[in-house]
Amino acid sequence: MRMHSLQSIELDVGRWNPPPYAKQSQRVLVSELCTFCPSLKLVMLWIGHTRARWTLANQQWHLVVDIRQLPQHSNIWCYV
């Protein structure tokens, strides 16, 4: 399945075993998502109350980690 117009996605990966805490494992996941959704510009990964926000800028992915966040208060759609 390809999603050519999808610009942002938000995933809860906190129940994965093991959770992708390491930056390298998150980068692999983001790269894999881009294989199927080449238009992605923002990937949000939730691990418990931690939000890992991956943004694409100048053809490179950048990570910002926000702790003590709540998924139900997320407003990812405001940034695209």
DSSP character string of 8-77: EEEEE-TTSSS---SHHHHHHHHHHHHHH-TT--EEEEEETTEEEEEEEETTEEEEEEE-S--GGG--GG
- The reply to whether 32 falls in a domain is yes
- The reply to whether 72 falls in a domain is yes
24-59 pLDDT, tens per residue? 999 999 999 998 888 999 999 999 889 999 999 999
pLDDT > 80? residue 77: no
- The reply to whether 3 falls in a domain is no
pLDDT > 80? residue 11: yes
- The reply to whether 1 falls in a domain is no
The pLDDT score that the predictor gives to residue 74 is: 61
**pTM assigned to the model:** 0.81
Question: Residues with Cβ < 8 Å from 20, sequence gap 6 or more?
Answer: 13, 26, 29, 45, 47
The pLDDT score that the predictor gives to residue 30 is: 96
Residue 46 structural domain: 8-79
Domains in the chain: how many in total? 1
- The reply to whether 2 falls in a domain is no
